[in-house]
Amino acid sequence: MKLLCACVFLALSLNVLAARGARASQASETEGLNFRNPEANRNPDAAATLIVFNQNDPDSRDLANFYAEKRGIPRDHLLGLRCAINEEISREDYDRTIAEPLRRFMTANFFWKLRELNSPLGAVEWNKIRFIELMRGVPLKIAPAVAYAGDKPTGPEAIATHNEAAVDSELSIVGLRTPIISGALNNPYFRSYSRIRDYPSGELMLVCRIDAPTYGIARRMITDSLEAEQEGLAGFTYIDARGINDGGYLEGDQWLRAAAENARRRGSPVILDDGPDLFPAGYPMRNAAVYLGWYSGDVSGALASPGFRFVRGAVAVHIHSFSAATVRDPSQHWVGPLLFAGAAATLGNVYEPYLSLTPHLDILHERLRAGFTFAESAYMAQRYLSWMTTFVGDPLYRPFKGAEMLDEKPAKGEWAEYREGAKLWFTKSRAVGEAALRASAKRLRSGAIYEGLGLLEITVNDRAAALTAFQQARSVYTNADDVCRVAIHEAIQLRGANREADAIALARKMIAAYPRSPAVSVLQLFEPPKPK
C-alpha cells in the first residue's frame, strides 16, 4: 500500500478556473419529491440545502425523505438522479448522470444564476444553495480517466498527474464548469471563520453525504445528530498521535496535539496517546465523544473491540491514505467501521491524497467546538477541492450547538460541571479550576470529573496531584472498565516517576479484581518481561 506522502505543497498555487464546460451529453431523468415541512421557514440552513438521492436505489429515496422531514428541507430541494449504485464510477458517468443533471436542476429551479463561460466576474452570479447532501446510493468516487477533452494539468507533477476524485469534492465546485480535472483547486473557504451563508462567493457549495455500511446506520446518523444537538455531545476526547517530533510526518501530529489542547480549553477531558502505536486492543475507550487519530490501514486496536461503541453523535476521524476507499464495509479501512461503531460524522480519503492535502484536523475540531456545522468545519479545514476527501455526516449537524452563545449542552450534570471547572482552570487559574473540579467531583461522586482533573494535572507535570485524582476516580467509579482505565493512567504515571514496583503491583491488583475485563490485556503490559 502506498504510504501517505508527507510532502508539503505550500507553494501550490492552482487558480480556480471558470473554463469551458465538460462535454455535454444526454442527461438522465431527474425528479423532485413533494411534501411540506414548516420547519424550513425557521431554519435558513435548511432553506440553503439540496438533497441528492439515487432513483435506482429505493433506500436512497427513503433516506432522502427521512432526512428532509427531520431537517425541514423544502419540498422542491430534493433531486433524484438515475446513476450507478456502485461506489466507483467513470468520469463520463459522473458528467452524464450526476454533474450535468444537477446543473440543469439548479438552473431550472432558479437556485443559482450562472454567468457566461470565462466571465471575468466569476462563474456564478448568485447561489441560494450552500449545502448539498448526497444520500447513500449516490456513487462515492470517480475513477482515473485516461484522457479528458479540455483537461490541462497544472501545478506540481505529483498533484497534476491525478484526475481521480471524490464525488463530493468534485461537486463542491460543479458551478465552475471547468474541463480541467487534473490536480487540485485552492479552497477559498480554507481557514474561514464565517458561516457559509455569509460567504460572498457562490461558486462553492459544501457537499457531504449520509452514507454507511447499512441503511439503518445511515438513518441512525441523522437521528443521533439531531438528538446530540438538543442534548449535547458529552464525553471524553480521545487523541491518538504518534509521538513524532520532527520529519515529514510531524504536521499530522501537530494537528492532533493542537486539537487536544483546544479540547482541554473548551472543557472536554482529553485522553492523549502520544506514542507510536494506536490505543491497544482491550483499552477501555468508554464514553468516546470525539476520536482523532492516525495511522493504520484498517480499523484496529481499541476501536476494533467487539463491544466498543461511541456515544450518540460522536465525531471520529482516522487519517489514512485510503480511509474511505469504501464507506459501505463495516470492517475495511476506517470510515465504515467508525460509523458501524456508532459515530455520527467522519471523513476519509477515497484515493491517495498526500498529507498536506487532507483536512487539518486541528481546524476541523476548533470550528466544531466554536459551534459551526459539520460541513462548514470540514471545508474550513480542507485546503484543496476537486480532490480525494469525502465528508460523511449531516452537513447541518452542529455537535456543539450553542457554543457561540455560551449556551453549550449539556447544561447540567458531571460533563457540564467538568466543562465549567476546566474553563476556570484556563481562564482564571489552575488553583481556581482545580478547586471547582474537586468540589463538583466530591459532590457528584463523579469518576469522570476526577479522571479529567488528573488528566489536566498531567499537562502541568504534576504527577503527584494526577495520581491523587486518579485514585479518587477509582474509588467512585462503578464500572469495571472505567476503574481499569484510570488504573492504566496511574500505572503509566508511576512508571514515569521510576516507581516501577508500584506500577506492577497496581496492575496485578486490578487484574485480580477484574479478571474478565478486556483491559486485563493492557494491564499485563506492565508486567516485567520474563527471563529467556
The Cβ-side half-sphere exposure at 472, using a 13 Å CA radius, reads 24
The answer to whether the beta carbons of residues 140 and 134 sit under 8 Å apart is: no
> What distance in Å separates the CA atoms of residue 401 and residue 19, rounded to the nearest whole number?
39
Q: Which three cell numbers, joined as nine digits, stand for 65? A: 425523505
pLDDT in tens, the chain (532 residues): 333 343 333 333 333 333 323 323 323 333 444 344 444 446 899 999 999 999 999 999 999 999 999 999 999 999 999 999 999 999 999 999 999 999 999 999 999 999 999 899 999 999 999 999 999 999 999 999 999 999 998 888 889 999 999 999 999 999 999 999 999 999 999 999 999 999 988 999 999 999 999 999 999 999 999 999 999 999 999 999 999 988 888 999 999 999 999 999 999 999 999 999 999 999 999 999 999 999 999 999 999 998 999 999 999 999 999 999 999 999 999 999 999 999 999 999 999 999 989 999 999 999 999 999 999 999 999 999 999 999 999 999 999 998 877 788 999 999 999 999 999 999 999 999 999 999 999 999 999 999 999 999 999 999 999 999 999 999 999 999 999 999 999 999 999 999 999 999 999 999 999 999 999 999 999 998 877 7
Reported pTM: 0.92
> Mapping DSSP to helix (H, G, I), strand (E, B) and coil, where does residue 189 land?
coil
> Mapping DSSP to helix (H, G, I), strand (E, B) and coil, where does residue 116 land?
coil
Strand 124-127 versus strand 112-114 pairing type: antiparallel
> What distance in Å separates the CA atoms of residue 310 and residue 342, rounded to the nearest whole number?
5
> What distance in Å separates the CA atoms of residue 334 and residue 296, rounded to the nearest whole number?
9
> What distance in Å separates the CA atoms of residue 394 and residue 392, rounded to the nearest whole number?
7
- Residue 528, Cβ density class (10 Å: 0-12 exposed, 13-18 middle, ≥19 buried): exposed
- Residue 149, Cβ density class (10 Å: 0-12 exposed, 13-18 middle, ≥19 buried): exposed
- Scan for cell 460522536, then name that residue: 314
Terminal alpha carbon distance of the chain = 36
- Name the nearest CA neighbour of 160 among 169, 171, 151, 170: 151
Q: Which three cell numbers, joined as nine digits, stand for 467? A: 495520581
> What distance in Å separates the CA atoms of residue 248 and residue 267, rounded to the nearest whole number?
31
